[in-house]
Amino acid sequence: MTFRHKFLGTAATLALTAGAALAEPALIYDLGGKFDKSFNEAAFNGAQRWAEETGGSYREIELQSEAQREQALRRFAEAGSNPVVTTGFAIASAIEEVAPDYPDTKFVNIDGFLPEIPENVQMISFQEHQGSYLVGMMAAMASESGTVGFIGGMDVPLIRHFGCGYAQGVKSVDEDIEIIANMTGTTPAAWNDPVKGSELAKAQVSQGADVIYAAAGGTGVGVLQTAADEDILSIGVDSNQNHLHPGKVLTSMLKRVDVAVYNAMKAGEDLATGTSQVLGLAEEGVGVAMDENNEALVSDEMMAAVQEARQKIIDGEIDVVSYYANDSCPVLNF
Amino acid sequence: MDLMTILQVLDSTVRLATPLLLACLAGLFSERAGIIDIGLEGKMLASAFFAAAIAYMSGNVWIGALAGVGSSLLLSAIHGLASITYRGNQIISGLAITMLAQGMTVLIAQDWFSQGGRTPSLVGQARFEPITLPFAEALAPVPVIGPIYHELISGHSALVYVAFLMVPVTWWILFRTRFGLRLRAVGENPAAVDTAGVSVIWLRYAAVLICGVLCGLAGAYLATGLQAGFVKDMTAGRGYIALAALIFAKWRPWYALYACLLFGLLQAVAVRYQNIDLGAFVLPVQFMDALPYILTVVILAGFVGKATPPRAIGQHYVKER
């Protein structure tokens, strides 16, 4: 980035905001860490795209502990960052606490849920169950053993939401396919324990699973590695993880956190707040990843079925039940 | 539950227990000599990183393991310097080492590889491959013994066998050699050892450095045996569980083996079965995850015999007052 670029970009932004104080957006990553090859990395990619396109710059912090959440929010708000974009459901309650103290700052949260959204907060959520449903279908069609696996990170409703959509997708192809579901743990350390991820994957393989969907942040790295070692297929999550083990990762359930972050930063101070935004298949917020690394694994028949299901979900013909609807999953017991 | 399932769970137990066992024996040497070491976690982490990083660069897993052990030794030396030579607080020094390792590994990894605090994935010779023991294939069809030998005993990476071998070796060193006697004495009554004309400082340094070597092996096993590379904070609290196992084992090598196998088994069962249906009620997986800590508390409360730590643990030795 040359100085000239930066200067022009700044000038343009200044012109747009017409005299209002120039505010840099800020981005707070959740405990999984900025480079988890998954959820947080997607957020980083979105911010990076915004920075490259507009020539702007943003502030960022990687949280190291639960206690830093409120501190980080306050510090960015005090420093005049606007909007403050956050990732992860766990920071939502801290935002609820902090937001009223800084009415001029806009906060964005991805994945969280608040019963009452404060005026200066935008909540973004994704229809992960819809995307998971599609990869579940692909898993069921790719499985030869009749058993597929699901490995979640921390045992929270959000991850059950992933698992539940996946299970419904699997069952839609064949009622008799067995699904083995495991969670890595109950503390945030569960997002970063590839050793346990590997062990869980091995346990599932020994129970016959030949496709495993990992929705576990950094732990998923271990799952994908073991799946590649044991010569079975895996499914990545959030970011496109197909390239991690070419030819061994069936697909990735994309969650376009990057787009959400990009849009929020682009809107800047004009961001609509006090509302929630839900991004599903129709909005391209979730989907399946196809590239040269997995094209040999996905048959035309599979692709056609996924496309058809996608359309049906958008049209409302297929109703993928959300785990949140009544905190339970109709086809899978966790 | 058939034999195969039991063997798979036990196989997983061995894999999960190995890093715990190495770290636990490491702590045993250190604490038997009177130096508390809560920096096991940090040393494992540093070793995991350097083992993976150097294995990746050199393409040879053994050079990587050596580098891992080296980094762990360096941290041990710092711990020794702070807590033996300068008589600092051993807990604080251990904690500082863990924090140092947590930060430095990610920082160096980012600088070397620019992959966000991780090392690239290791392939081929840069990883510990499973060793198939002699006759494993030939014996496999033999009922009962065959599968046990083939599935459970054979097919682990070299460091697993090293870890299990370290148990009798540790026992022999501590209880059958002059060095071991002195090492134990220095943890019980350093003044007596000093009176006998043996250097307390030297003995404690030796213990802390042995601790470093074993922690190094544990970390190298995590990153290059179990995994194919380093990921931020990949030890995930195993150093602390090893400490719990050490207390559970009452600072004895054979008990350490049993304690680590038990903790490994609990983890393996938790990994294999999400919730255990006992008929009358369902045992949640969270309970299995918490059991190692619960057991340690029970032991500490004195319900299952008394766990008496070495008498001079955590005290620095001052020749003259």
Identify whether residues A11 and A56 lie together within a single domain.
Answer: yes
Identify whether residues A101 and A237 lie together within a single domain.
Answer: no
Identify whether residues A240 and A315 lie together within a single domain.
Answer: yes
Give domain status of residue A47, yes or no.
Answer: yes
Q: Cβ of B121 and A33 within 8 Å?
A: no
Q: Is B156 on the interface with A (CB under 8 A)?
A: no
Mutate to test the interface with B, among A36, A44, A199 (most CBs of B within 10 A): A199
Token pair of B236, please? 């995930």
CA–CA distance, B29 with B34 (Å, rounded to integer): 9
**Residue B134's pLDDT is what?**
82
Q: Cβ of A196 and B234 within 8 Å?
A: no
Which stretches of chain A score pLDDT less than 50?
A: 1, 11-21
Q: Is the peptide bond before B309 cis (omega within 30 degrees of 0)?
A: no
Identify whether residues A138 and A29 lie together within a single domain.
Answer: no
How would you classify the pairing of strands A286-288 and A249-255? antiparallel
Task: Record the pTM.
Answer: 0.83
| Count of the separate structural domains present in chain A | 2
Q: What is the ipTM of this complex?
A: 0.82
Alpha carbon of B256: minimum distance to chain A alpha carbons (Å): 22
The beta-carbon neighbor of B233 closest among A192, A222, A244 is: A192
Q: What are the angstrom distances between the C-alpha of B183 and each of A312, B80, B173?
A: 73, 15, 10
Q: For B119-130, how does the pLDDT look when each residue is reduced to its tens digit (9 = 90+)?
A: 888 888 888 888
Identify whether residues A29 and A9 lie together within a single domain.
Answer: yes
Identify whether residues A190 and A232 lie together within a single domain.
Answer: yes
Backbone angles phi, psi at A281, to 5 degrees: -60, -40
The three-state secondary structure class of A60 is strand
Q: Which residues neighbour A205 within 8 Å (Cβ) at sequence distance 6 or greater?
A: A149, A212, A226, A227, A230, A232
Identify whether residues A115 and A138 lie together within a single domain.
Answer: no
Identify whether residues A63 and A92 lie together within a single domain.
Answer: yes
Domain ranges of chain B: 3-130+144-242
Q: For B15-44, how does the pLDDT look when each residue is reduced to its tens digit (9 = 90+)?
A: 999 999 999 999 999 999 999 999 999 999
**Residue B321's pLDDT is what?**
63
**Residue A3's pLDDT is what?**
53
Of A274, A301, A319, the C-alpha closest to A129 is A319
**Residue B289's pLDDT is what?**
77
Q: For A128-157, how does the pLDDT look when each residue is reduced to its tens digit (9 = 90+)?
A: 999 999 999 999 999 999 999 999 999 889
In this model, does residue B273 exceed pLDDT 80?
A: no
Identify whether residues A139 and A273 lie together within a single domain.
Answer: no
In chain B, pLDDT over 90 holds for what percent of residues?
A: 59
Identify whether residues A322 and A201 lie together within a single domain.
Answer: yes
Cα of B6 vs its chain's centroid, Å: 25
Identify whether residues A13 and A108 lie together within a single domain.
Answer: yes
- Angle ∠(B255,B257,B263) on CA atoms, nearest 5: 100
Which residue segment(s) compose the domain that A201 sits in? Answer: 128-254+299-326
Identify whether residues A112 and A84 lie together within a single domain.
Answer: yes
Helix, strand, coil shares of chain B, percent, nearest 5, are 70, 0, 30
CA–CA distance, A279 with A3 (Å, rounded to integer): 36
Question: CB atoms < 10 A from the CB of A307, how many?
Answer: 12
Which domain CATH number covers A27? 3.40.50.2300
